[in-house]
Amino acid sequence: MSTHYCLLVYLICALLAGQFLGARAQTNEFKCSKAGTFADPSDCHGFYTCDKNLNAVHGSCTEFGRFDPVDTCVWETCSNPAPATTPHQHFHQLQQELQQLQNQHKPQLRQQAQTHYQPQYQYVLRKRSAAKELDITLIQKIVILTTLVGEILNLSKVLAHPWDISKNRQNNVKLEHVQSLLLLLHAPLLK
């Protein structure tokens, strides 16, 4: 029973050692230049151990450990290294991104400005032209009315009864013309 107990303890220790120190598997992906332990460039949890014959064995720390060249696995969380950039490169990259964003939004701003102001501009022109037409017709009507009133006043001096066409046959055509114009001009001015 003591041999089984020792064997069981040995297996448990081997499992725990593999879990804490890292699991290992032979690989041909990594090329060893000399014997030793090297970090896995693509994974901070991984490492490669190279023997005297330059055979590589891949090892992996647990998820809570990272590779350390002195102690192999250290109890720390790690993140895979990001590519190193200088502050100048980072600034240049930000400038390019900003310029791309500005160029993307320029056509949209132009379209919005054109569609926003164009209807108001046309509306103002219509209003102004309508006001000019109204003023011109009103002025024309006033001129015609004053002319007609002048003619009526002159006729009333000559005629005894200016609105009685039958009594003043000699000016019949002129009076009918004046009366019809007065009726036509009087109705639109009241509107």
CB-based burial of residue 111 (10 Å sphere; 0-12 exposed, 13-18 middle, 19+ buried)? Answer: exposed
What pLDDT, on a 0 to 100 scale, did the predictor assign at position 87? 63
Has residue 169 got a pLDDT over 70? no
Has residue 154 got a pLDDT over 50? yes
What is the pLDDT averaged over residues 61-77?
66
What percentage of the chain reaches a pLDDT higher than 90? 0
Q: Which amino acid is at 89?
A: Q
Q: How far apart are CA 58 and CA 66, in angstroms?
A: 14
Q: How far apart are CA 134 and CA 32, in angstroms?
A: 97
Q: What is the pTM of this model?
A: 0.28
Give 29's pLDDT tier (boundaries 50, 70, 90): confident
Has residue 103 got a pLDDT over 50? yes
* Spans of all domains in the chain: 2-74, 101-190
- Specify the range with the lowest mean pLDDT, choosing from 30-44, 137-151, 170-184: 170-184
What pLDDT, on a 0 to 100 scale, did the predictor assign at position 52? 86
From the list 145, 141, 178, 144, the residue with the least C-alpha distance to 159 is: 178
Has residue 125 got a pLDDT over 60? no
DSSP state letters, 18-84: HHHH-EEEEESSSPPSSSEEEE-TT-TTEEEEE-TT--EEEEE--TT-EEETTTEEES----PPPPP
From the list 88, 54, 48, 52, the residue with the least C-alpha distance to 69 is: 48
What pLDDT, on a 0 to 100 scale, did the predictor assign at position 51? 85
What pLDDT, on a 0 to 100 scale, did the predictor assign at position 135? 55
What percentage of the chain reaches a pLDDT higher than 70? 25
